[in-house]
């Protein structure tokens, strides 16, 4: 869909386009439903059942994900039709309807406590789900996918309710979920001076925590994620190395934990630690016998070689990752091709870089957030444009006489036309744009984006992004000596500190 609309609007649009504005009765006959059902769908009073979506997608010649998305938006709109719900209404709805139903409508009268109450209710629901998860299960994939969809809904609603009280309550809920296994481990240790948690109790909590951590990584909560992982990842690793019926499940979760730690190490510019975590992730993915996770771990190692200025060594892990993925379409495959494009560009291999950029763009999913690898691929549409921009910037260093710097700028400008990027991606975008502007010789734009990039790096507490900004600043000083706009940025670098 060119924009997000509800299912009722989507159905009305289809009916008006089908056979020159046909009636509800005619659509009902074509679809095999009663006229009353079609009417209730168009009014947004009812929605198709989940198992009806594939059939409707075929009839309407749409992707099933488009139908799902439209139904989600329709349910959200329905929840907000009743104005000024009472607290009792919120409590009653919270147990039976999606998360959006328990939220107070955005208005000047709403307070922080309203959002805190709604998120508190949802937090209880999610923790209950985790506690009641099948104790005999030896896979937590379904639990993690359910948690992701619930938490992702927080983000979708945030785009409609852009209030500080909502954002704060959302963040606190994610932190509570991330710290859930930490709390359990501490409580168990205080009782007996050693952990007595069984794998059946610990692993579901770790699975949920990892999903919360992935979502927190999109903001500025890097320290919180590191605190949580440091507490329970060693236990996961022990379980992953010990033969039991839970070994593969623990190895799968340990792989994700190591990938998160690799990202955190990168932001500290601790490349030795990052390399170790990448290798550990590969080891645990092999124990888990999970091809998707193995491809992700290899991809992280490939990116790692790029970060330590060894782009030629990055190509082989990327190629191995593609072998693991085979011919099955996957968002992770798009991400691997992005990394390959940048590695080839830094090696000056123009044709290989351009081919990889094209492959990264091919079959990019309309809704990447529904891909099983969405979280650890970290590959939304904005990331696609970031890496395309990075690739062209790198090519411009090898071939400054060509138009690669302009292509980089145009790729990065595309990001502003899509959904808002995460704080982590936004920081990267600003710094990439500063570098593209420098390559274009545009002093004013370079200073504007460099200034915003340093501020964003400071808020993110990212040493890596700071060093990237500093590198551009030093190049700009050499290119434009004694320029007041460049000299005006000096204090920003002198006063910057990573907490």
Give Cα separations from 92 to 47, 113, 166, 325, 392 (angstroms). 21, 17, 20, 45, 54
Q: Is the separation of the CB atoms in 443 and 472 below 8 Å?
A: no
Q: Is the separation of the CB atoms in 315 and 343 below 8 Å?
A: yes
Q: What is the pLDDT along the chain (499 residues), one digit of tens a residue?
A: 344 577 888 888 888 776 656 788 888 888 888 888 888 888 887 888 777 888 888 888 888 878 887 877 776 555 444 433 343 343 333 333 344 444 444 444 455 566 677 777 778 888 888 887 766 667 788 888 888 888 877 776 665 565 677 777 778 888 999 998 988 888 766 555 555 678 888 999 999 999 999 988 877 788 899 999 999 999 999 999 999 999 999 999 999 999 999 999 988 889 999 999 999 999 999 999 999 999 999 999 999 999 898 999 999 999 999 999 988 778 899 899 999 999 999 999 999 999 998 898 887 877 777 777 887 777 777 778 888 888 998 899 888 888 999 998 988 888 776 666 677 778 888 999 999 999 999 999 999 999 999 888 888 788 888 888 999 999 999 999 888 888 888 888 865 454 4
Distance of alpha carbon 93 from alpha carbon 104, whole angstroms: 11
Q: Give the residue from 491, 430, 499, 426 showing the smallest Cα distance to 458.
A: 499
Q: DSSP letter string over 291-335? A: HHHHHHHHHHHHHHHHHTT-HHHHHHHHHHHHHHHTTS--HHHHH
**Each residue of 27-51: b (16+ CB within 10 Å) or e?**
bbeebebeeeebeebbebebbbeee
Give residue limits of the domains in the chain.
Answer: 1-79, 86-289
pTM for the structure as a whole: 0.70
Give Cα separations from 341 to 69, 318, 393 (angstroms). 31, 10, 12
Q: Which CATH number fits domain 1-79: 3.90.105.10, 1.10.260.40, 2.170.120.20, 2.10.109.10?
A: 1.10.260.40
Distance of alpha carbon 94 from alpha carbon 104, whole angstroms: 11
């Amino acid at each position: 869909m060119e924009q997000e609309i509800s299912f009722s609007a989507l159905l009305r649009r289809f009916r008006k386009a089908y056979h020159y504005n046909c009636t509800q009765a005619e659509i009902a006959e074509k679809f095999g439903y009663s006229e009353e059902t079609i009417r209730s769908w168009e009014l947004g009073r009812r929605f198709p059942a989940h198992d009806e979506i594939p059939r409707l997608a075929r009839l309407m010649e749409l992707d099933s994900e488009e139908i799902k998305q439209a139904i989600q938006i329709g349910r959200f709109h329905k929840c907000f039709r009743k104005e000024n719900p009472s607290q009792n209404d919120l409590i009653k709805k919270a147990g039976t309807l999606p998360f959006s139903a328990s939220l107070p409508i955005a208005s000047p009268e709403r307070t922080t406590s309203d959002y805190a109450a709604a998120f508190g209710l949802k937090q209880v629901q999610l923790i209950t789900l985790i506690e009641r998860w099948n104790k005999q299960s030896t896979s937590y994939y379904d639990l993690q996918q359910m948690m992701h969809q619930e938490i992702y809904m927080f983000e979708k609603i945030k785009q409609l309710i852009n209030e500080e009280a909502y954002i704060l309550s959302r963040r606190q809920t994610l932190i509570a979920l991330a710290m859930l296994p930490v709390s359990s481990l501490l409580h168990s240790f205080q009782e007996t001076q050693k952990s007595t948690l069984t794998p059946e109790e610990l692993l579901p909590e770790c699975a949920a925590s990892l999903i919360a951590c992935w979502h927190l990584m999109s903001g500025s909560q890097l320290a919180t994620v590191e605190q949580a992982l440091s507490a329970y990842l060693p236990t996961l690793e022990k379980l992953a190395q010990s033969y039991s019926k839970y070994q593969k499940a623990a190895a799968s979760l340990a792989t994700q934990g190591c990938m998160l730690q690799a990202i955190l190490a990168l932001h500290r510019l601790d490349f030795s630690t990052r390399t170790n975590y990448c290798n550990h992730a590969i080891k645990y993915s092999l124990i888990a016998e999970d091809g998707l996770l193995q491809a992700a771990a290899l991809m992280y190692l490939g990116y790692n070689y790029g970060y330590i200025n060894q782009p030629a060594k990055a190509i082989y892990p990327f190629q191995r990752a593609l072998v693991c993925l085979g011919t099955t379409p996957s968002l992770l495959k798009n991400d691997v091709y992005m990394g390959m494009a940048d590695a080839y560009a830094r090696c000056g291999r123009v044709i290989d870089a351009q081919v990889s950029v094209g492959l990264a763009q091919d079959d990019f999913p309309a809704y990447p957030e529904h891909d099983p690898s969405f979280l650890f691929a970290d590959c939304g549409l904005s990331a696609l444009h970031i890496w395309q921009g990075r690739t062209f910037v790198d090519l411009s260093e090898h071939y400054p006489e060509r138009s690669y710097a302009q292509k980089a700028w145009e790729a990065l400008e595309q990001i502003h036309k899509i959904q808002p990027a995460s704080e982590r991606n936004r920081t990267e975008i600003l710094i990439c744009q500063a570098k593209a502007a420098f390559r274009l010789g545009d002093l004013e734009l370079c200073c504007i984006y460099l200034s915003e990039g340093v501020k964003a790096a400071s808020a993110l507490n990212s040493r890596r992004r700071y060093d990237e900004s500093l590198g551009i600043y030093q190049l700009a000083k050499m290119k434009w000596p004694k320029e007041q706009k460049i000299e005006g940025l000096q204090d920003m670098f002198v006063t910057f500190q990573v907490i």
